[in-house]
Amino acid sequence: MAITVLEVLKKLPRTNCGDCGQQTCLAFATQVIKEGEDLEKCPHLTVTAAGLGEAVKAQQEAGVGRRRESHAISLEVLQAKVAPLDFAALAEGLGATYGEEAGRPYLSLAYFGYCLQVFKDELRYPPGALADPWDAILLYNYIASQGREPVTGRWIAYNSLPNSVSKAKTLARLERQLADHFAGKTAELRERLAQQGGDTVTVGGEDADVQASFLPLPRVPVLLLFWDAEAEEGFAAQAHFLFDASVTTYLDLEAILFLVEHLMERLMG
């Protein structure tokens, strides 16, 4: 199975010292897996991280997990879609604020709790925000939707979305990772959720130990359900993400997975 950003991150020193040229260990792990960066650029590799070196190299050579080429193509296509749009007219439907800088229109958007400026050909982050090359894909995807559908308030599972069968396996793998990580650590999960702006909610009919909703983008709510392990009953911990029924009018299936990965990086990092 492919080595993920989270697996690399877990084995890094996680001191965010910046000696590798990235602001954080998470950003470095993302570069290693998604952009083919050399793991040894971190001069403080632990023995276990160094042990990953060969496997990471083999994965990079096989092109697994790398996103650079598809990223460039997708970004070009999405920016071409966004170029003719009237940002001022779209702002309200996207939950954004319209602005201009030297005649260049932009939208200010709340994204994972910080405010980004999205120009037609540039993303501008506030100081200290964690940048990932795939943020642009997600945000242009969101803007290209033009915010035409209202959020319904009805939660649905990813695998009930049209054409999601193959990608649903990826989401199930992410959910498994999250459940295993927080098994027996419900209090820690609650703490992490609060730090990441998750609102504890109660959804009728759900008996999960933890229920938290997030708003990573203004019109894209995400609900996390978590059931802790019950060893006596042989029940392993479970995690499940739900989305608003309108989600695919704002993001495509791939972008939804990226959103979940991003959320998990913040909860588990």
User: Which residue, 15 or 70, has its beta carbon nearer to ligand SF4?
Assistant: 15
Residues 178-217 that bind ligand SF4 (CB under 6 A): none
CB of 112 to ligand SF4, least distance (A): 20
CB of 30 to ligand SF4, least distance (A): 11
Burial 145-174 (b: 16+ CB within 10 A, else e): bbbebebeeebbebeebeebeebbebbeeb
Closest CA to 149 of 64, 46, 246: 246
Closest CA to 85 of 116, 119, 109: 119
CB of 48 to ligand SF4, least distance (A): 13
34/11 Cα distance (integer angstroms): 17
Residues 32-51 that bind ligand SF4 (CB under 6 A): 42-44
Long-range contacts of 180-183 (CB under 8 A, 24+ apart): 180/236, 180/237, 181/268, 182/226, 182/228, 182/237, 182/239, 183/228, 183/229, 183/236, 183/237
Give the position of tokens 């460039």: 72
| Residue 28 binding ligand SF4, by CB under 6 A | yes
Give the position of tokens 């009930």: 160
| Residue 6 binding ligand SF4, by CB under 6 A | no
* Number of amino acids touching ligand SF4 (CB under 6 A): 14
CB of 50 to ligand SF4, least distance (A): 12
Among 15, 46, 70, 163, binds ligand SF4 (CB under 6 A): 15
| Residue 124 binding ligand SF4, by CB under 6 A | no
CB of 54 to ligand SF4, least distance (A): 18
Which positions lie near ligand SF4, rule CB under 6 A?
12-13, 15-20, 22, 25, 28, 42-44
